[in-house]
Amino acid sequence: MASFLSTSAPRSSRQKDKIYLIGFVTHQITGGKLPSNRQVLRSLFYNIRQVKLNIKDAARLTIKKVFIFWEKARIQTKHLKDSVAKLEKLHEEWRKLQKNSNRTGPAQTEKEKLFKAILDDLFDIAHQDALQTATEEDKLFLLKQREKGRPGVMGGVDLQCVKAEERWQKRNASEMARLTKFRTSSGELIKSRLLFLFNYNDVFYILELEELKYLGSSTSDEDEIEDNDQRTEKVDMVTLNYGPEKKMKKYTRGTEEIVNEKLFLILDRCAISDRDAARIISATIESLGHDSQQYIVKLEGAVVHWGGKLLPDMLNKENVERVAVLISCGEEEQLIGVPLLENGAGSTIAKSVYSELGKWGALDKIQAMSFDTTAVNTGRIKGACVLLEQLMEKKLLYLSCRHHILEVVLRSGFDAALGKTTGPQSDIFKKFKTEWNSIDKKKFKSGVKDKSVASKLINPDQISSYLLKQLTVHHSRSDYKELISLCLIFLERFPSENIVFAAPGAFHHARWMAKAIYSLKIYLLREQFQLTNFEKQGFHDICLFIINIYVKVWLDAPKPALAPNQDLQLLKSLVNYNKVNKFISDKSVSKFINHLWYLNPEQAVFSLFDDSLSNCVKKRMASKLISQANEDEELDDYCDMKPLIKLNEVSEILDKNVDHFISSQSINFSKRYNINDQFLHTNPELWSNNEKYLKSKKIVDGLKVTNDTAERGVKLITDYNSCITKVEEQKQYLLQVIAECRTKFPGCSKASLSEPLPFEQTMS
């Protein structure tokens, strides 16, 4: 188990996760100060031990993260090569101490003491001329950061000063252009170095340019050239807060709830933001003589969803990228915009989502994000998720789309059974759709009539009973019901003798359930549709995979409380499936281990509210959470996006339960959503009658773990992209109106359409 624990977020032993003298490894460097030696080393060890980079590449990647803070502080740094060398030297110092860590003599103890003393000091990569080129306040900030404790923090950006600097840059460019016109035979141009700052993508850079000065005999020309120092405007873009840092007392969560529905409505009516509301409520509690730490004053957080789509532009007839941005809180959803993107890069998506949230004043309310697990979203450095967190300056809960994850698993199994498809569509699906009208649908043959299928089914009675229940449940899309019906027909358990096959629909790779639905139809009609022996065997194998493994997991995917344990059990099932089909098992496991998002410590807490999980496991989870909350040592708030596990390490967790993934970072979820966790001190058998548990369960059940919300936004812009108006501003208003109308009138029944409009209710 040691190798798995060393590379994943879940921790069964806190000691194994600690780096000698350094503490816990971290993926990102956070905070409002310039990074310390400890922060830099923690990030370095993450890249070495979990990302498996060599020391040179790990140091280079870490330094690039460090540069972001120095650029934000507008302080000139050393060259990348020199900064990497400095970090390697610091690592080498640690390495020498680590080699002799078993020694207990006074010399080793003194060396360790000296090394610990510098860990929280500034990792100083300032350029040798940094103090000469920096403004007075930037200079003061750097000097303060070099002191013990690194007093001072970076604040916001002064937009007026940014505009002043842009004007200054423009004047410098105009001046250099004008100077070139004054060249005469008796004069000459002299070049000097000019340093100034510019803002690009909210990051400040120091730009070094050549300044042209004219030296000649004519004084009239010199009069036209104003003194550069007199024209340079004083800028101040970073607000600093100096002074000795106060030692923070240990954080304690409130247990008494004070914010009710009436207070919610009053705060919204008075246009008070969540942060201001928390400040007002806290001050009111204290003025009444109570301790604000005992009360929950933070308001419930929302989830931001986004999804991209390439659509034709109505003005220039070219394809353009759009991203649908929505927010949800419980059952409520709100489309906030579908803006155009310059490109599909992660940075562009993050800025667009951030901008839309800012327009709606929703930045303070967001606590989680829901997204498709594509590289443009999930990249460690340039992914939209990481960049959005940096823009919002806070950690968010990752709610990756579980349907998207399961589609990746199904596609890996499909490719293993029938070979990888190189094009955007499957040729055999295209052929099946073309020949559909010539196929006699009444002459289908169920799957269980094939003896090799019947012998390889795992718990057919159990899956049939589950599917029959799902057949009576309302689903958001008709193809969910079609998938359920096809599985029951395959098992000869369909409740009606009147079996009708729907015509084949879209079958591109992005179409959910397309591979499952087409595969089941083709195999059921295998005697009417010509297949090669290889294809027949391939559909035989993939249909077994769908029935035995896939369909139940897919239908339960939207339930957040089931997610952690379901993913763990799915991983075990995929591994054990090698007894049925080793090739499909190996391929699907290799894909799924890259998407264990809901087995990270914070999401693992969802299982406390899983009714199908045994009370024994819940009791162990509660005990670990209580013990972690009572620990006095400082905890690292950072939590990896997902566990990192290699293929050869999978077997080590097959005997583990979901409580194994609970760690100190799991407490962050209760803090994030103000969950009153007093129920943890009671027996899990009593939780179903515990008011605090039921309220917490409602919060978890309200989270969206599939990105259907964004898919609805994408479908909306797809349907109305070329309708009614070509004006972008009007198009955004149009989408808002249509989304609201669909919410008010979800169906076409008389009862639905007879509902009064909101303004009609107001007038009445």
Residues 543, 406 share a domain: yes
Q: Give every CB contact of residue 383 below 8 A, 6+ residues apart in sequence.
A: 346, 375, 376, 377
**What pLDDT score does 325 carry?**
92
Report how far residue 360's alpha carbon sits from residue 358's, in angstroms, rounded to the nearest whole number: 5
Domain shared by 34 and 133, yes or no: yes
Domain boundary among 246, 266, 295: 295
Per the document, the length of the chain is 764
519: its two tokens: 């595969």
Q: What is the domain extent for residue 378?
A: 302-401+710-747
**CA angle 273-277-282, nearest 5°?**
155
Cα separation, 621 vs 543, in Å, equals: 37
Angle separating helix axes 55-72 and 37-49, nearest 10 degrees? 140
Residue 306 sits in the same domain as residue 290? no
Q: Could you write out the DSSP letters of every residue in 639-704?
A: --SS----GGGGGGGTT--GGGG--GGGHHHHHHHT--GGGGGS-GGGGGG-HHHHHHHHHHHTS-
User: Which residue among 688, 706, 724 closes a domain?
Assistant: 706
Is 71 among the domain residues? yes
Q: Do residue 393 and residue 465 come from a single domain?
A: no
128 shares a domain with 170: no
Specify the pLDDT at position 172: 65
Domain membership flag for residue 592: no
The secondary structure element, H or E, covering residue 376 is helix 375-378
Q: How many DSSP H helices and E strands does the chain contain?
A: 34, 14
- My answer on whether 225 and 307 are in the same domain is no
Domains of the chain: total: 6
Domain assignment of residue 243, yes or no: no
The answer as to whether 582 is a domain residue is no
Same domain flag for 309 and 430: no
Tokens encoding 101: 């860590």
pLDDT confidence of residue 710: 82
pLDDT for 559-590, tens place per residue?
Answer: 999 999 999 999 999 999 999 999 999 999 99
Q: Residue 118 falls within a domain, yes or no?
A: yes
Q: Determine the Cα–Cα distance for residues 16 and 20; give it in Å rounded to an integer.
A: 10
CATH number at residue 371: 3.30.420.10
573 assigned to some structural domain: no
Which parts of the chain have pLDDT scores under 70? 1-17, 155-169, 171-269, 271-279, 282, 285-286, 288-300, 314-317, 509-510, 630-640, 744, 746-764
User: In sequence order, what E strands does 241-331 have?
Assistant: 256-257, 295-296, 302-312, 319-329
Q: Per the domain annotation, does 668 fall within a domain?
A: yes
> Is the separation of the CB atoms in 293 and 254 below 8 Å?
yes
Question: Residues 286, 342: one domain?
Answer: no
Q: Are residues 646 and 518 in the same domain?
A: no
**Radius of gyration over every alpha carbon of the chain, rounded to an integer in angstroms:** 31
Domain shared by 422 and 552, yes or no: yes
Residues 697 and 630 in one domain: yes
Report the chain's mean pLDDT, rounded to a whole number: 79
The residues, any chain, with a CB within 8 Å of residue 581's CB and separated by 6 or more, are 417, 541, 544, 545
Structure tokens at 224: 């036209």
Look at residue 91 and tell me if it is in a domain.
yes
Residue 13 and residue 67 in one domain: yes
Long-range contacts of 377-384 (CB under 8 A, 24+ apart): 377/346, 377/349, 378/641, 379/346, 380/27, 380/51, 381/61, 381/64, 382/345, 382/346, 382/347, 383/346, 384/306, 384/346, 384/347, 384/349, 384/350, 384/353
